[in-house]
């Protein structure tokens, strides 16, 4: 019987229980990590490009990485939140085709797991500001990743287990769907992994086809059949996803980011960025600037 290796893992960034008010009001937030919210008191709102939901007691919500959302509270909101990074060796995000907010009714086990994780990870709140434009900086990410390295082994395993259990709830939700086939060709998986690892290179479809020992047209058709995307579209989306992270989390110039993501010049980078994000790099940085208040 063939065996499969479980490839997904997640690393904790922040966790806390906070009391919020009308100052918690942020638009067009795009983060390179996931968020899970559990609301125990009060009310607020959260929205993405497709819908708007009330943040209400008794519900849990997930916001996948690189999902634009708006967050607000009119009077009072008490929430538990977990922020975490996804580690995926083959370059395929678990929520690759599900960049949208999902809401579920919280179970007793959900609440127990969240509170247990908070107990195991004291002092892991943001401790700077509730504004993502302030705390989303590369230096802060490195700081909290270093904290993960110092956690005792049994707590690392428990953190991972809790995150996997919470995420599994959303994978079983009716709002979660995947357009990808259940079985993906090993050659296509290898190509996707190669793209993710070499985002700083000028990757061509011909190169990918040659690596797979297939002709250009056949490879392109196979890639489309297994992923629902043409290879060049996939390459551009992954490069721009990386560029979004660099714009939001670093102070690099657009030319530096263009070169870091394998574009040979700034005009081409800006054209592809605008096509995918519907914003120019400058507009995106303005909405997600990382300067401290």
Tokens of 213: 């020992």
Residue 291: pLDDT band (50, 70, 90) is very low
Highest mean predicted confidence (pLDDT) among 66-75, 91-100, 146-155 = 66-75
Q: Is the pLDDT of residue 207 over 60?
A: yes
**What's phi and psi for 85, nearest 5 deg?**
-95, 155
Q: Is the pLDDT of residue 180 over 50?
A: no
In angstroms, the Cα distances linking 91 to 155, 190, 192, 194, 268 are 26, 9, 6, 8, 24
Mean pLDDT of 92-120: 90
How far apart CA 184 and CA 37 sit, in angstroms, is 32
Q: Is the pLDDT of residue 280 over 50?
A: yes
Residue 90: pLDDT band (50, 70, 90) is low
Structure-model confidence comparison of residues 21 and 140, the more confident one? 21
Highest mean predicted confidence (pLDDT) among 65-79, 117-131, 263-277 = 263-277
Q: Is the pLDDT of residue 152 over 90?
A: no
Domains of the chain: 9-171 (2.60.120.10), 186-287 (1.10.10.60)
pLDDT for res 46: 94
Lowest-confidence region among 131-145, 192-206, 272-286: 131-145
Q: How many helices (H) and strands (E) does the chain have?
A: 11, 9
Mean pLDDT of 47-68: 88
Residue 134: pLDDT band (50, 70, 90) is very low
Mean pLDDT of 79-100: 78
pTM of the complete model: 0.65
pLDDT for res 165: 95
Q: Is the pLDDT of residue 131 over 90?
A: no
Q: Which of 121, 144, 120, 166 is nearest to 8 (CA)?
A: 166
Report pLDDT digits (tens) over 230-251. 999 999 988 998 898 788 777 8
């Amino acid at each position: 019987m063939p065996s499969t290796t479980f490839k997904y893992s997640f690393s904790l960034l922040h966790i806390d229980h906070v009391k919020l008010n009308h100052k918690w009001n942020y638009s067009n937030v795009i983060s390179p990590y996931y968020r899970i919210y559990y609301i125990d008191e009060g009310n607020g709102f959260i929205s993405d490009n497709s819908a708007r939901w009330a943040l209400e007691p008794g519900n849990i919500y997930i916001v996948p990485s690189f999902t634009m959302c708006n967050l607000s509270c009119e009077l009072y909101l008490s929430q538990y939140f977990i922020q975490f990074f996804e580690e995926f060796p083959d370059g395929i995000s678990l929520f690759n085709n599900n960049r949208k907010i999902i809401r579920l009714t919280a179970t007793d086990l959900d609440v127990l797991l969240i509170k247990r994780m908070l107990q195991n990870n004291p002092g892991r709140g943001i401790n700077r500001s509730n504004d993502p434009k302030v705390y989303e900086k590369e230096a802060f990410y490195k700081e909290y990743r270093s904290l993960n390295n110092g956690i005792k082994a049994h707590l690392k395993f428990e953190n991972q287990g809790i995150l996997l259990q919470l995420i599994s709830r959303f994978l079983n939700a009716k709002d979660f769907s995947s357009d990808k086939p259940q079985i993906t060709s090993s050659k296509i998986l290898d190509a996707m992994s190669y793209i993710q690892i070499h985002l700083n290179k000028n990757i061509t479809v011909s190169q990918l086809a040659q690596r797979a020992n297939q002709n250009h047209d056949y490879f392109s058709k196979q890639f489309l059949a297994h992923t629902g995307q043409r290879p060049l579209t996939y390459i551009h989306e992954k490069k721009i996803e990386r560029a979004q992270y660099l714009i939001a989390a670093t102070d690099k110039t657009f030319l530096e980011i263009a070169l870091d993501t394998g574009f040979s010049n700034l005009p081409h980078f800006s054209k592809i960025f605008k096509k995918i994000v519907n914003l120019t790099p400058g507009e995106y940085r303005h909405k997600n600037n990382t300067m401290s208040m």
